[in-house]
């Protein structure tokens, strides 16, 4: 909106069509890191949308996954190896009879039980994998901070680990949660936090809601959801979520997210199901849940849906804290460990401090 020749409102609320690199709020280190990949500009609409045939959407998701995996690997390339971490792999059987790979990272010098993190990776429940270089790095950093981390290679609705739409990925996360519960003492896990970012933030919240329904929530000591992708409101952004307009096209676009959501729930049967889209959880759904941290990014289209979920938790009497990492795009505090190590490590420390405080 413009009043007397001057823009009113941040981002595209004040200047429609603004690129991320031109937003005065953006951290210049982040913009410099994004520029070689063309991610500092405003995203153009993808050739598919929420109304496209599923086959066309799946083909586009395959291409997106390959592109993002290459970028994320490049952003961590050349960093020194994280010291003091040992890794192992477990293959478990899921509730649907499928094999699920778990990646375990733990501090080599751990004495006694340590807090544990069940980590669920991002990608809109449609893309990316826990075996990706950026996620290996993040789990290593969490382990070096004194945590035992279990990364879950859940089924995606598209890409390399698809196509398995909802509720396949959630079922895999629930299976992984049950494995951690069953092996908690043996693995030396004291407190247990379910955590994830973006689509993994969705799954962290949904896994916790489902755990309540399944009588398992007492085994979860905390939830740390980062930039959660939870509203399913991207095709027609509602006025109560202004960040969907304010920051549209900043790394993520509502146009593309509408298509991604269609891949996750092709028939739209779960459009307001809180296990698919936790934004639609009721007060009763979240009452009695363990303490939460909802971590957000200032320049993220998804910022306000995460903030709305935080307020829903408070209204239900759940202990909840929200933090906003200023100057960053969607997951910007996790994507740039080389360019913004202080911002990246601040989030690692916050996850570790939250787990240790429970």
Asked if residue 129 has pLDDT above 60, the reply is: yes
Q: Residues 178-204: what's their mean pLDDT?
A: 97
Mean pLDDT of the chain: 96
Distance CA 229, CA 206 (A): 11
What range defines the domain where residue 74 resides? Answer: 2-357
List, as one string, the DSSP characters of 143-180.
HHTT-EEEEEEPPPSSSTT----TTHHHHHHHHHHHHH
Tokens of 162: 């698809």
State the pLDDT at residue 2: 44
Q: Residues 4-16: what's their mean pLDDT?
A: 78
Q: Residues 37-60: what's their mean pLDDT?
A: 93
State the pLDDT at residue 46: 87
Asked if residue 307 has pLDDT above 90, the reply is: yes
Confidence of residue 92 (pLDDT cuts 50, 70, 90): very high
CATH number, domain at 349? 3.40.50.1820
Strand stretches in 108-257, DSSP E: 114-120, 148-153, 189-197, 222-226
User: What is the count of structural domains for the chain?
Assistant: 1
Q: What is the pTM of this model?
A: 0.96
Q: Residues 19-34: what's their mean pLDDT?
A: 98
State the pLDDT at residue 7: 56
Distance CA 195, CA 81 (A): 23
Task: Kindly report the backbone phi and psi dihedral angles of residue 91, in degrees, each rounded to the nearest multiple of 5, phi listed first.
Answer: -110, 120
Asked if residue 358 has pLDDT above 60, the reply is: yes
241 touches 308 (CB < 8 A): yes
Asked if residue 4 has pLDDT above 70, the reply is: no
Q: Residues 328-348: what's their mean pLDDT?
A: 98
- Among 10-14, 108-112, 136-140, the range scoring the smallest mean pLDDT is 108-112
Which position has the token pair 């500009």? 41
- pLDDT per residue as tens digits for the range 112-121: 899 999 999 9
228 touches 293 (CB < 8 A): no
> What proportion of the chain, given as a percentage, has pLDDT over 70?
98
- pLDDT per residue as tens digits for the range 259-290: 999 999 999 999 999 999 999 999 999 999 99
251 touches 280 (CB < 8 A): no
């Amino acid at each position: 909106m413009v009043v007397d020749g001057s823009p009113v409102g941040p981002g595209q609320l004040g200047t429609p069509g603004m690129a991320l690199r031109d937003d005065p709020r953006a951290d210049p280190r982040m913009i410099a890191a994004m520029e070689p990949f063309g991610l500092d500009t405003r995203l153009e609409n993808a050739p598919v949308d929420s109304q496209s045939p599923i086959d066309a959407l799946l083909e586009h998701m395959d291409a997106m996954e390959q592109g993002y995996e290459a970028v994320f690997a490049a952003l961590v390339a050349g960093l020194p190896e994280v010291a003091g971490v040992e890794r192992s792999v477990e293959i478990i059987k899921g509730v649907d009879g499928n094999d699920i790979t778990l990646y375990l990272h733990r501090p080599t010098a751990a004495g006694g039980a340590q807090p544990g993190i069940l980590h669920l990776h991002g990608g809109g429940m449609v893309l990316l994998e826990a075996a990706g270089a950026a996620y290996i790095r993040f789990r290593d950093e969490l382990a070096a901070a004194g945590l035992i981390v279990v990364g879950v290679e859940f089924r995606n609705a598209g890409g390399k680990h698809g196509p398995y739409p909802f509720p396949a990925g959630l079922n895999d996360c629930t299976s992984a949660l049950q494995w951690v519960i069953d092996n908690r003492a043996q693995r030396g896990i004291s407190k247990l936090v379910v955590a994830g970012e973006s689509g993994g933030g969705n799954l962290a919240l949904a896994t916790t809601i489902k755990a309540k329904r399944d009588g398992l929530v007492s085994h979860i000591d905390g939830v740390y959801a980062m930039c959660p992708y939870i509203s399913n409101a991207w095709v027609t952004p509602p006025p109560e979520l202004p960040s969907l307009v304010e920051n549209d096209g900043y790394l993520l676009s509502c146009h593309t997210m509408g298509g991604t959501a269609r891949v996750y729930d092709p028939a739209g049967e779960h459009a307001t199901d809180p296990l698919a889209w936790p934004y639609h959880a009721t007060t009763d759904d979240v009452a009695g849940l363990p303490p939460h941290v909802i971590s957000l990014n200032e320049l993220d289209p998804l910022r306000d849906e995460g903030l709305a979920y935080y307020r829903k938790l408070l209204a239900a009497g759940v202990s909840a804290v929200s933090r906003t990492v200023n100057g960053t795009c969607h997951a910007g505090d996790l994507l740039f460990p080389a360019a913004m190590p202080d911002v990246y490590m601040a989030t690692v420390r916050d996850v570790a401090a939250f787990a240790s405080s429970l």
